[in-house]
A and B are shown apart, each in its own frame.
Chain A
Amino acid sequence: MSSSAAIGAIDHHHDPSTSTGIPNKKLLMWAFLASDCMFFGCLISTHLIYRLHPPPDVPLAKNVFSIELTSFSTFILLMSSLMMALAVNAIQKGNLKSMRWSILTTILFGLIFLGCQVYEFRNFVFEKHMTISNSILGSTFFTLTGTHGIHVLIGVIWLTSMLIYSFTGRLSEKNAIDVESMGLYWHFVDIVWIVIFTAVYLLEYL
């Protein structure tokens, strides 16, 4: 922490100034993700509990969902994780140019995912007539997937800032740990989506 003087090659996997050798930012992110795990855990549990006790007026989820579209957006989000991993790898090697392309692709994939979600929400509300307030399924579905969508949106804004600052010189190889921490967040948001995709969508088609 105290002596951040860059002498020689930067070791991206070990920070000698901390007791454990793990950089502080990485440890912070892991602890935050543990907390966020419980956050999504409670939301997903709410959805699953209410799914087991459907009131008579709840619409049949299969009639509302469009599994083809969601499978496509899930695939896109997974691929964005691949690009994020490549971005982290690039900056650790000091390859700023390659990092920019990877981050740009990650942002685009994230935006495609969000676009699909906006389309899906509009479709559910206006065509399938499932709103946030007219059934318990609508309440849990929109709250859960909406919260996830906000996480993706925060990630996109974060990545966009990084992309811009990589041009102004604020973000350089020294900031590899910042990109890596951001990567942890991004992968976590993806993994949560895999759980949501399984528990909310795929479960209805069993």
Chain B
Amino acid sequence: MEALVHKSDFLTKEEPAVAKPLVLWRPTAKTGVVGWLTTVDHKRIGFLYGISALLFLIVGGLEALFIRIQLAVPNNTFLSAQQYNEMFTMHATTMIFLVVMPLGNAFFNFIMPLQVGARDVAFPRLNAFAYWTFLVGALILNLGWFMKDGAPNAGWFGYAPLTTKAFSPTHAIDMWIMGLQLLGVSSIAGSLNFIVTIINMRAPGMTMMRLPVFTWMTLITSFLIILSFPAITIALIEVMMDRLFETNFFEVSHGGMPILWQHLFWIFGHPEVYILILPAMGIISEILPTFARKPLFGYPIVVFSGASIGFLGFGVWSHHMFTTGLGAVATAAFSLMTMAIAVPTGVKIFNWIGTLWGGHLTMKTPMMFALGFVWMFMLGGFSGIMHSAAPADAQQHGSYFVVAHFHYVLIGGSLFAILAGIQYWIPLITGRMASDFWGKVSFWVIFGGFNITFFPMHFLGLNGMPRRTFTYDGNMGWNQGNFVSTVGACILGVGLAIYLAVILYAYFKGPRAGRDPWDARTQEWSLPTPPPEYNYRVIPTIHARDSWWYAKQHAAEIAKETSEHGKAEEAHGGIHMPFQSIYPFFACVGMFIAALGVAVVDADPGPSLIGKKLAVTLIGAVIMLTGFYLWALEGADGYHLHLEDEPEGKTGAKH
């Protein structure tokens, strides 16, 4: 980590500008720990998201391997039932909230502002706050591993009343509730920022229908996040009130109804599925045209399909609850809606195939992962359509068939796209190229391992093997499938290890990447690699959908236009940069202490006025609120850079 801190590629070498004399401390360090803690640069925040998520990918991957080792042979005793519960709960929670979502966030942060031609997001400090809150939530969620209460063990869906005090008396569930709650705050704060940035901070000429598809999917995903996360926030508040203040939301003896938890959870949970897959679709829609040497086929239809998936995603949640007995009308309606959502998804697949059709395919590593995505995601989609028929779902519910389905869409879909995206953008992010040979090796090992792991699960599920059960008898006919699956999981693990090694090697030792190494089409590739802190020396003017491609075809007139606009910008005060700020981090320290108070400290037995639990919570809350208040008070000021005498992409002078 130390090496990463000092080796910050996103920095220009200029002296930091001197802050205006204020009562409040304005940090100006651009390197070292303080530089990272106080950064408001969307690229560095995106980098932090990426690093944290890749670390959690290792954690979640190890949890998955433990699960597979336990299931390799019948009646295995590698894990106890209790440990197994912790493993599958934390594996799912980690992979969804601490790996796929933050990796999506890493790209939103790093790539989206570059694609719309902005110098930062609309609210840089809010962006930093979103990251630190994410980290606090992730820590709270994983604290249980180091405590006697153990890690959360009630499943990532946390069905009440299993999560109520009567059935889960330890703090493990408190940590799960508090962790998810904070991750929700982080996601909403981040998404609000992305929405404003995309709608309001587009470069001149960048109309909505010229936005790169990745940016479009960022926008739709952000809307899904701000509209669906409140449902789980309320569900978590209700179960937390039940646990802390003995309310009756899920207390059956006082009229509480467990089905309410399921509805609230899945009203969030199903849009969440699209929160995980839409960014992936955006990444694929960037990579396929670049390596097929063709514009994206049917751009407006791809965008519209993404939006329809977003809308329909709010109307299908009860297909997770077909077996709860909703009644014929509700079941039929949700069944139909679920089938309907396959239409825009299929339309996208055909558009990707249309993009490839007749293209000059360049088989680089990102393209391999992207093609793998299209194929594997389709397989996951097919088993998804099988679930949409309620009678079939009643048979598949709670079986390994479902496990196979969502791993095909989450690994074969989301993760493949993210791995493709990392390989695609790594020259831009780090300024270095990754090895194409070893990248392809990692692709084939991952691809093989993934299919060997999850394809047998379809058959295991249809043969009746239930999910979330820590072991099975040897006479059920599940031995072979499980053993093959475990072998596959180990191969998948090796593949991911090769992948990470390739990325790490590229980051430290890879050959320098020049500008635009893939001969790409979108605006972010017009920048030097890695991009300077201010991104664009002159805010670009957009003339076409594939704007950088257009600029390369019209180099002379774009150069003239850029130089004119550069002079005009200089006359208006130069490049505006936001000041760094410590307060988002400061507030999150308080948030961490308060969350510890709520989730970890024991309630006081006696009727004392202020016990230990309340005291810790209040101290944390006061620090947090002080942080918010000082943050508001210091204001959103900034300084200006003047670059007219410097060669492009090199340095900036202080104001």
Query: Do the beta carbons of B246 and A133 come within 8 Å of each other?
Result: yes
B48 to chain A, nearest CB (A): 22
Chain B residues with CB below 8 A from A58, complex form:
255
Asked whether, in the complex, the Cβ of A31 is within 8 Å of the Cβ of B231, the reply is no
Cβ proximity bits B246-288 to A, threshold 8 Å, 1 near / 0 not: 1111000011110010001001000000000000000000000
A11-25 contact mask (Cβ, 8 Å, vs B): 1 or 0: 000000011101010
In angstroms, Cα B254 to Cα A132, docked, is 12
Is A3 part of the binding interface, using a Cβ–Cβ cutoff of 8 Å? yes
Residue B333, interface by CB 8 Å? no
Tell me the B212-229 residues at the A interface (CB within 8 Å): 226-229
Q: Interface residue tally of chain B, by bracket?
A: 35 or more
Do the beta carbons of A55 and B254 come within 8 Å of each other?
yes
B 189-225 to A, binary, CB cutoff 8 A, 1 in contact else 0: 0001101100111100010000000000000000000
A27: interface (CB < 8 Å): yes
- A1: CB under 8 A from chain B? yes
A50 close to B (CB within 8 Å) = yes
- Measured between beta carbons, the chain A residues less than 8 angstroms from B264 are 42, 46
List, in ascending order, chain B residues with CB within 8 A of A18's CB: 200-201
Judged by a CB distance under 8 angstroms, whether A38 is at the interface is yes
B227, B255, B575 pick with most chain A CB within 10 angstroms? B255
- Contact count A vs B, C-beta below 8 Å: 120
Q: Are the C-beta atoms of A139 and B192 separated by less than 8 Å?
A: no
Report the minimum CB–CB distance from B57 to chain A (whole Å): 28
Is the CB of B146 closer than 8 A to any CB of chain A?
no
A2 touches which of B249, B255, B576 (Cβ 8 Å): B576
Q: Is the interface of B mostly helix, strand, loop or mixed?
A: helix
Nearest B-chain residue to A43, judged by Cβ: B234
Inter-subunit contact A1/B576 (CB<8 Å): yes
Instruction: Please tell me if the beta carbons of B122 and A3 are within 8 angstroms of each other in the complex.
Output: no
Q: Does A117 contact B (CB under 8 A)?
A: no
| Complex CA distance for A43 and B576, rounded to whole angstroms | 43
How far apart sit A28 and B189, CA to CA, in the bound complex (Å)?
A: 10
A143 at the B interface (CB under 8 A)? yes
In the bound complex, how far is the Cα of B234 from the Cα of A143, in angstroms? 10
Q: Write out, one digit per residue, whether chain B residues 512-525 have a CB within 8 A of any chain A CB (1) or not (0).
A: 00000000000000
In the complex, identify which listed stretch (B237-245, B387-395, B419-427) lies at the interface while the others stay far away: B237-245
A46, B249: Cβ atoms closer than 8 Å: yes
Say yes or no: A46-B234 contact (C-beta < 8 A), given A2-B576, A34-B227: yes
Interface pair B248/A135, CB less than 8 Å apart: yes
Residues of B within 8 A of A143 (CB): 237-238, 241, 247, 249
B188 within 8 A of A: yes
B230 at the interface (CB under 8 A from A): yes
Please tell me if the beta carbons of A24 and B573 are within 8 angstroms of each other in the complex: no
CA distance A42 to B573 in the complex (A): 48
- Within residues 358 to 387 of chain B, which ones have a CB less than 8 A from any CB in chain A? none
Per-residue B-contact encoding for A128-144, CB less than 8 Å = 1, 0 else: 00001101101110010
Q: Which residues of A contact B267 (CB under 8 A)?
A: 42
B459 contacts partner chain A, Cβ-Cβ < 8 Å: no
**B227 lies within 8 A of A20 (CB):** no
Contacts of B201 in A (CB 8 A): 1, 18-19, 24
Q: Are B227 and A53 in contact (CB under 8 A)?
A: no
User: What are some 26 contacts across the A-B interface (CB < 8 A)?
Assistant: A1-B576, A2-B119, A2-B573, A5-B573, A18-B201, A20-B200, A22-B200, A24-B201, A27-B196, A28-B193, A31-B226, A32-B192, A36-B230, A42-B233, A42-B234, A42-B264, A46-B234, A50-B256, A53-B255, A133-B248, A135-B254, A136-B254, A138-B247, A139-B248, A143-B241, A161-B632
The 8 closest A-B pairs by CB, nearest first: A55-B255, A139-B247, A42-B234, A39-B230, A38-B230, A2-B576, A133-B246, A35-B226
A27-B200, A139-B247 known; 19 new pairs, CB 8 Å cut-off, are A3-B573, A5-B573, A27-B196, A27-B199, A36-B230, A39-B233, A39-B234, A42-B233, A50-B255, A50-B256, A53-B257, A54-B255, A133-B245, A133-B246, A136-B256, A138-B248, A143-B249, A161-B629, A161-B632
